[in-house]
Amino acid sequence: MSDHAPPEPFSAADVEAALAGFLVPRDPVLDAIARASAAAGLPAIAVAEPLGRLLSVLGLAVGARRILEIGTLGGSGAVWLARGLAPGGRIVSLELDADRAALARRSLAHAGLDGTVEVVTGAALDWLDAAIARGEPPFDLVFIDADKERSREYLARSVALSRPGTLIVVDNVVREGRVADAGCPDAGVRGIRRMMEWIAGRPDLAASVIQTVDAKGHDGFLLAVVRGDDGVRTG
């Protein structure tokens, strides 16, 4: 028996910091974006470091050369994605708010990533519909982290811009557990539930959710792979 008495209960924030200390290399670009975002008064809703690092890991795992991000905010998600991008790869990041887009562009240019990440200002659905109409080549990885009300619309367009094997990640699908509440009046939660119902009728998607608990509370992200078959496996 060890006589080690752990210090009193570790909070999710403690664990997040400890895991980040082990797993997340310090990145001056991300530190600068965190400072610029706070100085500009952006809401503190950027992805937590371990999840950001996971985006890099997933990009590397799928060999991503073309990445789509819906919801740029201050640009930190785009940097995490860039850290998992194959050499010569490109990222398109969509942002409704012109001030946020400008801030992200400045940060990305300062980091030498302006040739890698294109930040597009405007309503994401407009860009997505135009991209579908012009036959934009498929993306390898998609990260949806925008207004939750339109989650289903964003996911459907993302699937239209995918190929078999494309990995789609959707942030914030648990929302303190409220995704389980069929009567929840919150528009964002309702949007997530609509997206889930849509997925349930799409055998060409294989999807699951990992629940997370971190400094921002209880949430989770959805991982979906676009299948090359009709989803019916007999073997």
List contacts with ligand DHB (CB under 6 A).
45, 145, 171-172
Stretch that binds Mg ion, among 135-143, 153-161, 163-171, 182-190 (CB under 5 A): 163-171
Nearest position to ligand DHB, beta carbon: 45
Of 141, 163, 160, the closest CA to residue 80 belongs to 141
Q: Which of 16, 27, 140, 145 binds Mg ion (CB under 5 A)?
A: 145
Tell whether residue 171 is a contact of Mg ion (CB under 5 A): yes
- Closest approach of Cβ 145 to ligand DHB, in Å? 5
* DSSP E strand boundaries for the chain: 66-70, 90-95, 117-121, 139-144, 162-170, 205-214, 217-226
- Closest approach of Cβ 84 to ligand DHB, in Å? 19
Q: How many CB atoms sit inside 10 A of residue 86's CB?
A: 15
* DSSP E strand boundaries for 71-216: 90-95, 117-121, 139-144, 162-170, 205-214
- Closest approach of Cβ 173 to Mg ion, in Å? 10
Taking the least distance from each CB to ligand DHB, the nearer of 82 and 174 is: 174
- Tokens 């792979």 belong to which residue? 225
Check if the beta carbon of residue 96 is closer than 8 Å to that of residue 128.
no
- Closest approach of Cβ 77 to ligand DHB, in Å? 9
Stretch that binds Mg ion, among 17-25, 94-102, 113-121, 142-150 (CB under 5 A): 142-150
How many Å is the Cα radius of gyration of the chain?
18
- Closest approach of Cβ 200 to ligand DHB, in Å? 23
Of 126, 147, 228, the closest CA to residue 194 belongs to 147
Taking the least distance from each CB to Mg ion, the nearer of 41 and 231 is: 41
